[in-house]
Amino acid sequence: MRAYIAPKESIILNVLSATVDFPTCESIRMSQQVDRTGERTLAVVTKADRAPEGLLEKVTVDDVRIGLGYVCVRNRIGGDDETYDEARAAERRLFEEHPLLRQIDKSMVGIPTLARRLTQIQAAIIGRCLPDIVRQINDKLSRSSDELGQMPPDLGTVADAVREFYHIVKQTRASLEKLLVRGEFDEYPDDHGRHGTARIAEMLDSYASKLQAQAQAQAQDADSSSFLVEEMRVLEETKGINLPNFLPRPAFQVLLRKKLESIEHVPHRLVTQVWDYVGDLVMGILHHHSRSYPQVQPSCRRAVQSLMDNARERSARHVKELIHMELVADYTANPDYTAKWNDMMTEGHARFLDAVEGDDVPALVTLPGFGDTDVSHLRLQRKLAGQAFDLKARLAAYWTCVVLRLVDGLALHVLYSVKRLVEKDLEDVLAAQVVGTNLDGVERMLVPSPATALKRDRLRKSIALLRECREVVANTMDKISVV
């Protein structure tokens, strides 16, 4: 019962017997729990003919706060033998002729009065509630229309599907250009994993640091007891019939090759890392923009996988070319090479020879570029020591230039390849995979997924029903305003 009288739009018709004490009535207490002020409670007092004494005071003093007032009525006494007209005539005579009941105001007695009061109260409540109901209908209608408008169009022809597919590609390309080329993250401000330019820059910085650290570690032997041992061994193996103290070029190339082979895995690891990341990002963005057409996503995924495989292969070839180019010729126009070699030779060569050739001087010597070095093991091989130091100094100075070329060359290749992928390759591969020559991929877009079809149908029915309801309410408001 409480559930029916709780809504604020409900009229509480509290039926009271004239024979009971109103304040102790259970129905009064129940209505007061949901309508404390009584503003939507109307009391109907029955059996007025059986307890007329004190009834006037009960309905005028209003000890129980009946906001909409009282209406006193007469119960039908004759039962089935008394017609409606006879009952109403008897009621009218009762309230007109009874010495106590006729004192009650005529606006508070009779079934016709009750019917009229209910109609008036209902009209007033409806008049107050209808504007809010109209607002709620309009809000729901607007939300449903917006939701339907945001759904993918209902494709009817292959041409429609092709246009929609290229619209998806255009959206995907625009997002990827922001994330991977221009460094604009307004679409995903809090998703740092999709901030492509920042993440690739971190990978390139890490790659450069690893190469630089390896170059520095190789410039300084961890164990000074092996200082120049490898260089002297190579000089012995590459010696020919030459002038004394002549530095053979093959020795330099042998050592350079070994150093290149020791770091070749680092750039390969970088290109794998970059393209794994780019592949996941591209697929995520494409999946987002094609979410309304899940039936085309498997073809898109295959296209992206093929594109990433080609990109990895192309970058791997580029890394090999960078390494092989370094082996073609030991050449650089970088002035830092000469400057660094001169510093090591000018400040360190004489000091090194003194330590090697002088038995009465300390064998531990500080050499520019190599740190504190023990040369005692070289005193037995003084003949090649000077050449070996020169070779090591040249290689250390040149290795810095090689590392910079590997860093810059690969970084530029990666950035160019990513830009090319976003601006050209992705669209070409998607078109070939999804559109193809027979349009198989886009034809699948013509058949909506069950979830999409169900949602579209639900929204259309909801919109039609809401518009119908709005028309009914508007007509009702017009009738109320005339009354």
Structure-token match 């995924």, residue found = 301
In a domain, 126, yes or no: no
Query: What pLDDT, on the 0 to 100 scale, is given for residue 220?
Result: 53
Query: What pLDDT, on the 0 to 100 scale, is given for residue 301?
Result: 92
Region 347-367: mean pLDDT is 83
Query: What pLDDT, on the 0 to 100 scale, is given for residue 225?
Result: 65
Share of the chain above pLDDT 90, in %: 31
245 and 340 housed in the same domain: yes
179 and 252 housed in the same domain: yes
250 and 336 housed in the same domain: yes
Query: What pLDDT, on the 0 to 100 scale, is given for residue 445?
Result: 65
Sign of CA dihedral 141, 145, 148, 150: negative
**CATH code: domain of residue 93:** 3.40.50.300
In a domain, 114, yes or no: no
> What does the pLDDT look like over 20-48, one tens digit per residue?
888 888 888 888 888 888 888 889 999 88
191 and 334 housed in the same domain: yes
Query: What pLDDT, on the 0 to 100 scale, is given for residue 221?
Result: 46
331 and 414 housed in the same domain: yes
In a domain, 164, yes or no: yes
22 and 148 housed in the same domain: no
In a domain, 122, yes or no: no
Region 3-28: mean pLDDT is 85
Per the structure, the complete domain to which residue 467 belongs is given by: 136-155+455-482
**Whether residue 408 has pLDDT greater than 70:** yes
In a domain, 120, yes or no: no
Reported as a pLDDT band with limits 50, 70 and 90, residue 191 is very high
Q: How many domains are contained in the chain?
A: 3
Most confident of 293-302, 407-416, 453-462: 407-416
**Whether residue 267 has pLDDT greater than 50:** yes
162 and 143 housed in the same domain: no
147 and 165 housed in the same domain: no
Region 427-439: mean pLDDT is 80
Report the DSSP pairing between strands 41-46 and 12-17.
parallel
38 and 99 housed in the same domain: yes
Share of the chain above pLDDT 70, in %: 92
Region 108-123: mean pLDDT is 87
Query: What pLDDT, on the 0 to 100 scale, is given for residue 186?
Result: 94
Region 182-205: mean pLDDT is 95
150 and 215 housed in the same domain: no
Query: What pLDDT, on the 0 to 100 scale, is given for residue 286?
Result: 95
In a domain, 117, yes or no: no
Mean pLDDT of the chain: 85
Region 250-271: mean pLDDT is 91
Whole-prediction pTM: 0.65
144 and 252 housed in the same domain: no
**Whether residue 219 has pLDDT greater than 60:** no
**Whether residue 67 has pLDDT greater than 70:** yes
Reported as a pLDDT band with limits 50, 70 and 90, residue 266 is very high
Stronger pLDDT, 228 or 404, i.e. the higher one: 404
**Whether residue 308 has pLDDT greater than 90:** yes
Query: What pLDDT, on the 0 to 100 scale, is given for residue 184?
Result: 95
425 and 409 housed in the same domain: yes
Query: What pLDDT, on the 0 to 100 scale, is given for residue 80?
Result: 59
Phi first, then psi: give them for residue 70, nearest 5 degrees.
-120, 150
Stronger pLDDT, 245 or 261, i.e. the higher one: 261
In a domain, 406, yes or no: yes
